């Protein structure tokens, strides 16, 4: 609460030393003035103050001051206390002891109040109750100390119990009177100070005038003496209630303080209904009367403000809902929980589901939902608690299909359980996503086919080898058939070789077809070691033609990864092709290293390094940008697509390079944890097409 007070009062940016000094001086002045007022409200001939404001001022100051500056409050109060007390002949030790008991009352009251109140402006019932309790506890406890000090010093003849009783009632009344004025008027959020209209000002003037008039007549004129009927005592009370009901705690506490002052002033000067109390030197009746009015008034003002705040918030949220309902971009309907019937629906709801704007009866939401969406919504409704959301496919009355985000929340409406259902049409968004996805797939495929053309001579060479072998083996076999006796063993060996060569050619064609195919993404568990071997095998002639020495290293027991085999092969082919091209200008020492590894962070990595010229530091990031190329016939899309493939697989593709010493590209993919299952994720339209992705 301390920091909130500080923010509200705008003291955060003030010079802290000046702020501390200001607090000390203000408290000192107020404390001294309070003591003077206390003396003025003393019954003569006995020096007995009915209301002693300094303690209450101290308590109020602690409530409105941040805790770290409390020392300044006490530092300011001490000299004022000495100034006020010492000239009256009170022994110095007792003066100091009184300061200790005053400080203890303020401290206890402030701690209890700040511990239990929810704001220090007495604007809630809880704060008002906390304040009354804090005031009572502080007065009860500190008065023990007060009375004990007097007894200890041996000043005066009053016994301990009487001293304690006098102090309790006097301190309690002072706290109930002074602190509310201080805390409500020192905070910025005041009813009275905020927007006072001329009419309200007029009302306040009438109120204060009426209060003064009745209080003076009842308590300060000779008209009424101690023999009046008790009902007349309550004449100012309607004005206090008026202040509480209409203007909240700030004005009601001020009005109450005025009454208290006039009551005590009258009695102290031999006038009003409490004259007898003054004569008998027993202010208890006055104190009891005033304290009980104070408590009632504080509670009333707080309750009224709290209720008004609650009503204002309720009105605000009602207005908010009604604006969102009528003008918001979403389709909203309130439906009955028991049968799904529409209680009320907004214009967007009618538009989305194809109803005319004057439609009288609407079909339930369930009737518009696809079966799968209906099941999903049903399971959402059965989940207890707050709002739930899901994506649904619905059909409007004209048969149009929409994809919508549905949010559903239970509400109580006139004792019946209902649901607020909000639909946001995301058909266009989903369509755009699907188009973008299709375009990406198309581009990936095209670049894959384009990169295969780079390998065309290698592939032709690779295919030629088994075909030539098949031909020469077949001719050899034919020649063997011309010799008698037939050498069956040799012919069998030749046929086995023919079959082997055929298999090799078949594998190559299969691989080529796979890479050329424009199939859907298919996420499966992949053994990266095997995938790397396949790719290197596929382009092995490339290394021979380009005189590149290939070094490989495969990590044993490599965990599997989740991915689309063709896309991952495309990625690796691109890295290998780039590495070969990077070393083209070299005449010797062309070495490519391909390795796999399993890292402690749970990733599986494939590293492709070469001994080419490397990549200058300023191009490190740019090589992944689309259309960045340094090659004459390059497209500049290879690495951009490779990185996107890596990201789409939940991994990354990075490069390290020392110019002049080659480049190292590193693909990192998350390993598949044992026992994890692949799941299907819906694409547009949500309930009909699905593509496999892993959890």
Assign 3-class secondary structure to 376-438.
Answer: HHHHHHHCCCCCEEEEEEEECCCCCEEEEEEEEEEEEECCEEEEEEEEEECHHHHHHHHHHHH
Please return the burial class of 406, using the count of CB atoms within 10 Å of its CB with bins 0-12, 13-18 and 19+: buried
Could you give the count of Cα atoms lying within 13 Å of 359 in the half-sphere of its Cβ? 19
Tokens 């993919």 label which residue? 669
Burial 595-609 (b: 16+ CB within 10 A, else e): bbbbeeeebbbbbbb
Binding mask 310-329 for ligand ADP (x = CB under 6 A): --------------------
Residue-by-residue DSSP string for 310-357: HHHHHHHHHHHHHHHHHHSSSEEEEEETTT--EEEE-HHHHHHTT--T
Report, in Å, the least distance between residue 385 CB and ligand ADP.
Answer: 50
Report, in Å, the least distance between residue 444 CB and ligand ADP.
Answer: 13
Largest CA distance in the chain: 157
The answer to whether residue 211 forms part of the interface with ligand ADP (CB under 6 A) is no
Residues 533 to 592 in contact with ligand ADP, rule: CB under 6 A: 574, 578-579, 582
Angle at 217 between CA 212 and CA 222, to 5 degrees: 140
The answer to whether residue 418 forms part of the interface with ligand ADP (CB under 6 A) is no
The answer to whether residue 610 forms part of the interface with ligand ADP (CB under 6 A) is yes
Spatial separation of the C-alpha atoms in residues 640 and 628, rounded to whole Å: 9
Whose Cβ is closer to ligand ADP: residue 243's or residue 623's? 623
Report, in Å, the least distance between residue 607 CB and ligand ADP.
Answer: 12
E strand segments, 113-190: none
Whose Cβ is closer to ligand ADP: residue 198's or residue 589's? 589
Contact (Cβ atoms closer than 8 angstroms) between residue 613 and residue 582: yes
Report, in Å, the least distance between residue 449 CB and ligand ADP.
Answer: 14
The answer to whether residue 631 forms part of the interface with ligand ADP (CB under 6 A) is yes
From 383-391, 510-518, 520-528, 623-631, span contacting ligand ADP (CB under 6 A): 623-631
Please give the C-alpha separations between residue 35 and each of 82, 167, 492, 544, in angstroms, as whole numbers. 11, 15, 125, 105
The answer to whether residue 645 forms part of the interface with ligand ADP (CB under 6 A) is no
Single residue of 62, 176, 615, 645 touching ligand ADP by CB under 6 A: 615
Residues 650 to 669 in contact with ligand ADP, rule: CB under 6 A: 663
User: Which residue's CB atom is positioned nearest to ligand ADP?
Assistant: 638
Please, which residues bridge with residue 610 across strands? Answer: 592
Length of the chain: 695
DSSP code of residue 48: E
Report, in Å, the least distance between residue 580 CB and ligand ADP.
Answer: 9
From 465-473, 501-509, 609-617, 671-679, span contacting ligand ADP (CB under 6 A): 609-617
Whose Cβ is closer to ligand ADP: residue 186's or residue 570's? 570
Angle at 153 between CA 150 and CA 157, to 5 degrees: 55
Whose Cβ is closer to ligand ADP: residue 388's or residue 570's? 570
From 24-32, 265-273, 430-438, 608-616, span contacting ligand ADP (CB under 6 A): 608-616
Whose Cβ is closer to ligand ADP: residue 351's or residue 593's? 593
Single residue of 34, 38, 180, 638 touching ligand ADP by CB under 6 A: 638
Report, in Å, the least distance between residue 454 CB and ligand ADP.
Answer: 9
Applying CB under 6 A, the site for ligand ADP has a residue count of 19
Single residue of 634, 660, 676, 689 touching ligand ADP by CB under 6 A: 634
Report, in Å, the least distance between residue 582 CB and ligand ADP.
Answer: 3
Residue-by-residue DSSP string for 428-489: HHHHHHHHHHHHHHHHHHHHHHHHHHHTHHHHHHHHHHHHHHHHHHHHHHHHHHTSSS--HH
- Phi/psi of residue 553, nearest 5 degrees: -150, 120
Report, in Å, the least distance between residue 451 CB and ligand ADP.
Answer: 8
Report, in Å, the least distance between residue 450 CB and ligand ADP.
Answer: 9
Both tokens assigned to 598: 């399993």
Whose Cβ is closer to ligand ADP: residue 350's or residue 642's? 642
From 146-154, 374-382, 401-409, 635-643, span contacting ligand ADP (CB under 6 A): 635-643
* Pair type for strands 603-610 and 663-670: antiparallel
Report, in Å, the least distance between residue 634 CB and ligand ADP.
Answer: 3
Report, in Å, the least distance between residue 524 CB and ligand ADP.
Answer: 26
Helices and strands (DSSP H and E) totals, the chain: 22, 16
The answer to whether residue 630 forms part of the interface with ligand ADP (CB under 6 A) is yes
DSSP code of residue 553: E
Whose Cβ is closer to ligand ADP: residue 382's or residue 633's? 633
Single residue of 210, 636, 650, 685 touching ligand ADP by CB under 6 A: 636
Report the interhelical angle of 565-582 vs 528-538 (nearest 10°).
50
Element (H, E) at 604: strand 603-610
Spatial separation of the C-alpha atoms in residues 368 and 397, rounded to whole Å: 8
Single residue of 612, 644, 649, 669 touching ligand ADP by CB under 6 A: 612
Q: Collapse the DSSP code of 448 into the 3-class scheme (helix H, G, I; strand E, B; otherwise coil) and give the result.
A: helix
Report, in Å, the least distance between residue 549 CB and ligand ADP.
Answer: 15
Burial 321-354 (b: 16+ CB within 10 A, else e): eeeebeeeebbbbbbeeeebebeebbebbbebbe
Single residue of 42, 104, 395, 629 touching ligand ADP by CB under 6 A: 629
Binding mask 359-398 for ligand ADP (x = CB under 6 A): ----------------------------------------
Rule CB under 6 A: which residues touch ligand ADP?
574, 578-579, 582, 610, 612, 615, 623, 628-631, 634-636, 638-640, 663
């Amino acid at each position: 609460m301390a920091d909130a007070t500080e923010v509200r009062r705008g003291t955060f940016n003030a010079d802290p030393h000046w702020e501390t000094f200001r607090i000390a001086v203000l408290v000192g002045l107020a404390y001294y003035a309070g003591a003077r007022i206390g003396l003025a409200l003393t019954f003569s001939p006995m020096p007995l103050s009915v209301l002693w404001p300094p303690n209450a001022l101290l308590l109020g100051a602690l409530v409105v001051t941040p805790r770290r500056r409390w020392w300044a409050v006490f530092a300011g109060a001490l000299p004022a206390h000495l100034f006020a007390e010492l000239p009256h002949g009170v022994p110095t030790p007792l003066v100091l002891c009184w300061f200790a008991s005053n400080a203890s009352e303020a401290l206890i009251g402030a701690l209890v109040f700040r511990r239990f109140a929810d704001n220090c402006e007495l604007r809630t019932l809880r704060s008002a109750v906390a304040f009354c309790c804090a005031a009572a506890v502080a007065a009860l406890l500190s008065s023990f100390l007060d009375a004990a000090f007097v007894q200890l010093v041996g000043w005066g003849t009053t016994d301990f119990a009487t001293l304690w009783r006098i102090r309790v009632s006097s301190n309690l009344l002072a706290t109930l009177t002074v602190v509310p004025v201080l805390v409500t008027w020192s905070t910025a959020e005041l009813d009275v100070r905020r927007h006072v209209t001329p009419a309200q000002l007029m009302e306040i003037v009438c109120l204060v005038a009426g209060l003064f008039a009745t209080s003076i007549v009842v308590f300060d004129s000779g008209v009424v003496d101690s023999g009046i009927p008790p009902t007349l005592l309550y004449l100012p009370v309607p004005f206090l209630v008026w202040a509480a009901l209409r203007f909240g705690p700030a004005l009601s506490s001020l009005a109450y303080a005025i009454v208290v002052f006039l009551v005590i002033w009258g009695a102290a000067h031999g006038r009003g209904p409490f004259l007898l109390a003054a004569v008998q030197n027993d202010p208890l009746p006055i104190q009891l009367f005033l304290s009980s009015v104070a408590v009632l008034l504080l509670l009333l003002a707080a309750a009224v403000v709290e209720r008004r705040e609650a009503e204002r918030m309720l009105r605000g949220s009602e207005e908010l809902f009604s604006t969102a309902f009528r003008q918001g971009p979403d389709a909203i309907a309130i439906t009955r929980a028991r049968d799904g019937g529409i209680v009320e629906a907004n214009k967007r709801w009618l538009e989305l589901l194809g109803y005319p704007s004057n439609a009288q009866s609407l079909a339930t939401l369930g009737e518009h939902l696809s079966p799968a969406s209906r099941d999903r919504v049903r399971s959402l409704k059965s989940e207890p608690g707050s709002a739930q959301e899901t994506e649904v496919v619905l059909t409007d009355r004209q048969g149009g299909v929409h994809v919508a985000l549905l949010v559903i929340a239970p509400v109580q409406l006139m004792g019946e359980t209902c649901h607020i259902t909000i639909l946001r049409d995301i058909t266009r968004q989903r369509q755009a996503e699907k188009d973008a996805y299709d375009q990406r797939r198309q581009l990936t495929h095209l670049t894959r086919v384009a990169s295969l053309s780079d390998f065309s001579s290698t592939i032709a060479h690779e295919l030629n080898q088994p075909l030539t072998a098949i031909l020469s083996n077949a001719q050899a076999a034919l020649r063997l058939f011309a010799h008698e006796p037939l050498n069956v063993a040799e012919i069998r060996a030749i046929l086995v070789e023919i079959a082997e060569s055929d298999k090799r050619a078949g594998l190559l064609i299969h691989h080529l077809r796979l890479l050329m195919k424009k199939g859907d993404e298919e996420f499966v568990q992949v053994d990266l070691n095997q995938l790397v071997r396949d790719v290197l095998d596929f382009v092995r002639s490339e290394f021979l033609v380009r005189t590149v020495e290939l070094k490989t290293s495969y990590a044993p027991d490599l965990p599997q990864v989740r991915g689309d085999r063709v896309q991952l092969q495309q990625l690796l082919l691109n890295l290998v092709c780039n590495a070969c091209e990077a070393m083209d200008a070299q005449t010797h020492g062309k070495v490519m290293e391909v390795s796999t590894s399993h890292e402690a962070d749970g990733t599986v990595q494939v590293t492709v390094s070469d001994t080419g010229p490397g990549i200058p530091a300023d191009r490190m990031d740019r090589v992944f940008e689309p259309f960045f190329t340094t090659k004459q016939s390059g497209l500049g899309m290879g690495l951009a697509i490779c990185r996107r493939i890596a990201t789409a697989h939940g991994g990354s593709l990075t490069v390290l390079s020392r110019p002049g010493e080659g480049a190292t590209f590193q693909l990192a993919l998350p390993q598949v944890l044992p026992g994890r299952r692949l799941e299907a994720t819906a694409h547009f339209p949500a309930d009909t097409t699905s593509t496999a992705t892993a959890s």
